[in-house]
Amino acid sequence: MPNIVLTRIDNRLIHGQVATQWTGSIGANLLLVANDQVAKNQMRQRLMKMAAPTSAQTRFFTIDHTIEIIHKAADRQKIFIICENPQDVLRLVEGGVPITKVNIGNMHMAEGKKQVVGSVAVDQADVEAFKQLRDKGVELEIRRVPTESAESIDKVFEAF
């Protein structure tokens, strides 16, 4: 069983908060960005590697490759999975990745989205993915940084 210490939704993927606050507070030694576009984009990978902490390895996998390889992870790997949106997390869970808790950090405002909490904006597709994750027993929390208290996930479900 892979040692997944946290799964986070953050549309910025690896950036300062992830590198300096989350990685240290959860003791991760492997940051796994599960994202189909980033897995093929060397420029974005290089930028994220510059922000990543030196205390952790960084990997950029497609969703399918993550599903294929996650169960081969060594016990010593403390894996921090970072996804861009709830649909990608749902694909991971449906593919057998043992995710039990999801931290919702940053989902920026865009056309068709509603702001539900400070840094979280959702559309109908996001809400549906969160409902499916919840129905599969995945714990959901909204929290920007580890030192803050979690916000109620109910605000997401009330959006639409």
pLDDT tens-place values along the chain, 160 residues long? 899 999 999 999 999 888 889 999 999 999 999 999 999 999 999 999 999 999 999 999 999 999 999 999 999 999 999 999 999 999 999 999 999 999 999 999 999 999 999 899 999 999 999 999 999 999 999 999 999 999 989 989 988 7
Per DSSP, helices labelled H in the chain are 16, 23-26, 42-51, 63-69, 86-94, 124-135, 154-157
- Give the active site residues: 15
CATH of domain 4-158: 3.40.35.10
pLDDT at 106: 93
pLDDT at 155: 86
pTM for this predicted structure? 0.95
Secondary structure of 90-108 in HEC code, one letter for each residue:
HHHHHCCCCCCEEEEEEEC
pLDDT at 36: 98
Q: Which residues make beta-bridge pairs with 60?
A: 33
Token reading at 75: 């016990």
Q: Kindly provide the b/e burial profile for residues 40-60, where b requires at least 16 CB atoms within 10 angstroms of the residue's own CB.
A: eeeebbeebeebbbeebebbb
pLDDT at 160: 79
pLDDT at 42: 97
**HSE-CB of 27 using CA atoms within 13 angstroms:** 6
